[in-house]
Structure 1
Amino acid sequence: MAINVKRLLANALIELDKEKPLRKITITDIVTRAGTGRQTFYNHFQDKNDLIYWIYLRTLAGEAKLVNTKGYYAYLVNLHQEAQKISDFLKDACKLDGQNSLSDALYSQNYRYYRNFIKTHHGEEFLTEEVEYALHFNAAGGSSTFMQWLLNGAPGTPERQAELTLGCMPQCIKDFIPLYPEDTEED
């Protein structure tokens, strides 16, 4: 059975975060805990923030299938459920800034996801000036409120967080995204 080195490094970082502040954890700390070498780390990640973003992306696993089969609401519920499982770690990660920070990555991921979804499922001609503006607005607001939710200890139910998120989404984006199972292509 092959060892998943990325997961090994991620688990090491999450464990270390329980012992000392995330900003003080070094690459040496991570590879020592994981039982690997520095070169192994750099074969997979640019830096600690890149690893943090990879850990966040694990919470999004299967997002495209979930959106396409059950709608965006189900995806948001799942995202918040998974984030709650590692909320202490993600809360610490939100406090880091700099190159490849989680806050920058959240904004970029949010913007790219919606833009690519609209382009792929509806066509580039639907990416009007209004829609592009709304995509940036939504990415800024969505990533900021998600981080604030984490910094506040990830309170409330994932269902409520999904409702709030959808309630704040600009209509010109909602028009292109399957929000609920009845909106999807596969029922």
Structure 2
Amino acid sequence: MSESMITKQAIASGFKQLMKEKTFDKITILDITKTCGLNRQTFYYHFQDKYELLNWIFYNEVILVLTKDLSLDTWPDNLFHMLTVMKENDTFYRNAINHSFQEEFRNYLLTISEELFCSIIDHIKVNYSMPEEDQKFLSRFLSYGVVDSIVYWVKEGMVRSPLELKKHIVSIVNECKMYATKHPTTLL
């Protein structure tokens, strides 16, 4: 691992520790650098501000986990792994989503999930023709449902286990897939 990556992870770790004690809005760059034993110049060498740091954490801990080797076969396991990472860092993610970064996080997940659902729909529409407009609508509909379920799960304190939430989401997506294959002309 590069020295730059080690430093970024140290900064992220210090920031996550602070997020257990303070809300995002109350944390300063000075707080972060004191916590990880670095100076402000080092922080600014790696991140423009705390928003970019938060974005980097989300990307590396959530988005990369969700998208790693993403396919129709792997998405449920990737979803479970992502939810597990979030649950293991529950205070951080609750604080981040409740106090600062909900829309950015949500938009990240919406983009990825919409692409995934387009792929799933492409796979199931082999037996019939679905207009592209309907495919986009269905993908967007499923994406908003899944992503908002995840955001709600975080906001409500992650009471359900990652496995329970994954099973619930996968079940609903599978039911929608079965409905779409049985009723291709009644999607809208």
On whether the aligned pair clears a TM of 0.5, the verdict is: yes
What corresponds to 1:139 in structure 2?
A: 143
**Deviation string, structure 1 residues 14-67 (Cα, Å, up to 9, x no partner):** 111223333211122112222333343334334323322322331344433453
Shift of 1:149: 0.9
Correspondences of 1:55-94 after superposition (within 5 Å): 55-57=57-59, 58-68=61-71, 70-94=73-97
Shift of 1:115: 4.4
Unaligned runs of 5+ in 1: 176-187
Shift of 1:85: 0.5
Whether 1:36 aligns to 2:38 is yes
Q: Which one has the bigger helix percentage?
A: 2
Question: Aligned partners of 2:68, 2:135: CA distance in 1, in Å?
Answer: 24
Question: Aligned partners of 1:55, 1:127: CA distance in 2, in Å?
Answer: 38
What corresponds to 2:163 in structure 1?
A: 159
Name which structure has the greater RCO, CA cutoff 8 Å, separation 6+: 1
Question: Aligned partners of 1:21, 1:139: CA distance in 2, in Å?
Answer: 28
Question: Aligned partners of 1:47, 1:134: CA distance in 2, in Å?
Answer: 37
TM-score normalised by structure 1 residue count: 0.71
**Deviation string, structure 1 residues 96-115 (Cα, Å, up to 9, x no partner):** 24xxx2x2223322232134
Question: Aligned partners of 1:152, 1:22: CA distance in 2, in Å?
Answer: 18
TM-score normalised by structure 2 residue count: 0.71
What corresponds to 1:13 in structure 2?
A: 15
Question: Aligned partners of 1:80, 1:151: CA distance in 2, in Å?
Answer: 13
Determine what percentage of the aligned residue pairs are the same residue.
22
Question: Aligned partners of 2:151, 2:114: CA distance in 1, in Å?
Answer: 21
What corresponds to 1:47 in structure 2?
A: 49
Aligned pair in 2 of structure 1 residues 135, 36: CA closer, same or farther (>3 Å)? Answer: farther
Runs of 4+ in 1 over 6 A off after TM superposition: none
Question: Aligned partners of 1:9, 1:92: CA distance in 2, in Å?
Answer: 17
What corresponds to 1:25 in structure 2?
A: 27
